[in-house]
Amino acid sequence: MLRFLHWLFERILRTPVIFWGCVSANLIGAVWGAAVWYGPMLAASPLWAWPFIPDCPLAAFLGTIALFGMRAGRRWSFFYTLTAFACIHYGIWTLAFWLRQWTGSGIIDPFEAVLFVTHVGLLCEGILFATRLGDVSFPLRFAVIGWFVLAFGVDYGLGFHPPLASHVTFEFIMWLTVVLTGGLSVALLALPRAGEQPARMPTTAVKG
C-alpha cells in the first residue's frame, strides 16, 4: 500500500495537469473558506486569533505550499509534518461534522455534499503528505503537537471554534477534536525516524 501511495504521489507531482489542478483546488478552497465560511467570524475576532480560526482553509493553503516544496525536492520535514497533521485532522473533523448533521436532520443539502467531497480530498492529500515527511526529530514532533493543543485551547477554551450546524453540538465537536488531536499525536510520536525507515523524498526538482 505504501509503495502505491509513493507511486501515486509521484504521478501527481510530475504530471502538470494534475499538479496544477490540485494547486488550484487548494487555493480556491482556502480563499473561499476563509472569506465565506469563516469571513464573518474573522471580522468579529481580534487579529491574534486569526491563525486559529480558518482551520480547513489554512490546511488547504499549507497544502499548496507543501505541493510546491515537494515538487521542487525541498526537505521541509517540520512543515510537511505540520501540514499533514492539519490536512488529516481537519479532513476527518469535517467529514464527521457533516455525517453528524445529516444523521440528525435526515437531509443532505447539495452544498454540504460538495463540502464533504472536497474534504475527502483534503484528507487524502494529508495522507499523501504523511508518506513524505522525511526525518522529523522528536522536539519538532512535540512542536507540531503543541500547536494543535494550543489551537484546541483557543477554539474551545476561548470560544473561537468553527460555526456549528443545527444538529452538531459544541460537546460533539469538542470531543471530536480531543480524539483526533490525541490519536494523531500518538501516531506522530510512534512514527519511526528516517534512520529506522527511510522516507522517500523526491531527489530532484520536477520541471514543467
Distance, in Å, from the CA atom of 208 to the CA atom of 203, rounded to the nearest integer, reads 16
Percentage of the chain modeled with pLDDT above 90: 85
Q: Are 140 and 81 in contact (CB under 8 A)?
A: yes
- Contacts with 88 (C-beta within 8 Å, 6 or more apart), sequence order: 123, 126, 127, 130, 184
Give pLDDT, residue 194: 65
Give pLDDT, residue 156: 96
Residues of the chain with pLDDT under 70: 194-208
Rounded to the nearest angstrom, the gap between the alpha carbon of residue 167 and the centroid of all alpha carbons in its chain is 24
Closest listed residue to residue 38, CA positions, set 142, 152, 162, 159: 162
Give pLDDT, residue 119: 96
The number of C-alpha atoms within 13 Å of 136 and in the hemisphere containing its C-beta is 26
Give pLDDT, residue 198: 40
Q: Are 130 and 68 in contact (CB under 8 A)?
A: no
Burial of 58 (0-12, 13-18, 19+ CB in 10 A): buried
Q: What are phi and psi of 172, to 5 degrees?
A: -65, -50
pTM across the whole model: 0.91
Cβ neighbours around 54 below 10 Å, total: 22
Give pLDDT, residue 50: 96
Distance, in Å, from the CA atom of 107 to the CA atom of 98, rounded to the nearest integer, reads 11
